[in-house]
């Protein structure tokens, strides 16, 4: 079955067109795109999606709709996440996406987002009995999903995201030390309150998905151009992330955009993102995390093929 999934997030708008083999978790990717659109810009302050951010998404969806048609996808699914959930005009925006672009668009709750992400991240992985946490740091929320052998035992969506806390705390360029400390303190408290101590203690390994993790891997590997095959499965050590944060946080944006491996469009949010990934690893007592390119897009593609969409 050929499916197309669009993920309209707080920071980026992404597309996956893929063939999903019936009765399996085998996904063959035909097209994958990711464009930073910053839909959540200003939502934390105003409670509404802004006209300019919405138009950025619409412009990208014009291109994505053409690609979907060119590939002949027989089913579509658009998932809208944190920014749209939080915004007063989110329902109207979702309806516009559905009507204007012919996409089966749904604003999904945090639980659904977590489950789709876990499905995507753990698909095609062997059962090994280990308790694993999937960490998805987005623009407006962070999802933690804990489970083993493809089954979810616990999931939570937290109000921590690179756009949300970045706008809230990082007012200078480069950010000042007290701003970084204040942001880290809030993130640490939210993470540790959201997940029970005993659950964090028994989690033995982690998978990190989405832009912060994949961009950190690309910087660590000094990839130019970006190479999905090298990013997927790359292991980031906590010590490496701490060094990376120290390096990026002291750079002004005009220097950060030139860092090898970093998408310039991600430069404004990467400092907040790396800080959040570090706090996530510390919360679970992990010294390293595996980076995965398999995320909510893959999970939604599998759900669509199975007829299990929202």
**Domain residue spans in the chain?**
2-110, 126-291
Top-level CATH class of 126-291? alpha beta
Q: Integer distance in angstroms from the first to the last C-alpha of the chain?
A: 18
Q: pLDDT tens, 48-90?
A: 999 999 999 999 999 999 999 999 999 999 999 888 988 999 9
Q: Which residue would you say has higher pLDDT here, 296 or 124?
A: 296
Predicted local distance difference test score (pLDDT) of residue 253: 97
Average pLDDT, the chain: 92
Strand 12-20, strand 27-36: pairing: antiparallel
Question: pTM of the prediction?
Answer: 0.85
Express the helix, strand and coil content of the chain in percent, nearest 5 each: 45, 20, 30
Asked whether this chain's domains 2-110 and 126-291 adopt the same fold, the reply is: yes
Residue 112 pLDDT > 90, yes or no?
Answer: no
**DSSP letter string over 115-173?**
HHHHHHHHTTPPP----EEEEEE-SS-EEEEEEETTEEEEEEEES--HHHHHHHH--SS
How far apart, in whole angstroms, are the C-alpha atoms of residue 308 and residue 167? 36
Residue range 2-110, CATH number: 3.30.420.40
């Amino acid at each position: 079955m050929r499916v197309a999934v669009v993920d309209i997030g707080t920071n980026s708008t992404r597309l996956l067109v893929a063939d999903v083999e019936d009765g399996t978790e085998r996904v063959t990717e035909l097209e994958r795109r990711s464009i930073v659109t910053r839909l959540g810009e200003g939502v934390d302050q105003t409670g509404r999606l802004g006209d300019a951010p919405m138009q950025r998404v619409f412009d990208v969806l014009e291109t994505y709709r053409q690609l979907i048609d060119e590939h002949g996808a027989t089913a579509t699914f658009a998932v809208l996440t944190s920014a749209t959930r939080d915004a007063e005009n989110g329902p109207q925006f979702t309806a516009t996406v559905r009507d204007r672009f012919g996409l089966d668009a749904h604003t999904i709750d945090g639980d659904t987002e977590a489950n789709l992400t876990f499905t995507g991240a753990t698909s095609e992985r062997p059962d090994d009995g280990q308790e694993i946490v999937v960490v998805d740091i987005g623009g407006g929320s962070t999802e933690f999903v804990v489970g083993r052998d493809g089954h979810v035992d616990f999931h939570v969506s937290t109000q921590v995201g690179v756009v949300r806390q970045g706008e809230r705390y990082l007012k200078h360029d480069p950010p000042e030390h007290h701003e970084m400390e204040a942001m880290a303190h809030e993130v640490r408290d939210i993470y540790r309150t959201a997940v029970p101590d005993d659950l964090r203690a028994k989690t033995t390994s982690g998978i990190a998905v989405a832009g912060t993790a994949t961009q950190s891997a690309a910087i660590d590997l000094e990839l130019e151009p970006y190479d999905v095959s090298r990013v997927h499965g790359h292991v980031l050590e906590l010590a490496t992330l701490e060094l990376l944060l120290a390096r990026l946080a002291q750079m002004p944006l005009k220097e950060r955009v030139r860092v090898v491996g970093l998408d310039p469009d991600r430069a404004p949010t990467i400092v907040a993102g790396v800080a959040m990934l570090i706090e996530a690893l510390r919360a679970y007592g992990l010294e390293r995390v595996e980076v995965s390119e398999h995320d909510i897009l893959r999970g939604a593609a599998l759900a669509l093929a199975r007829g299990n969409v929202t």
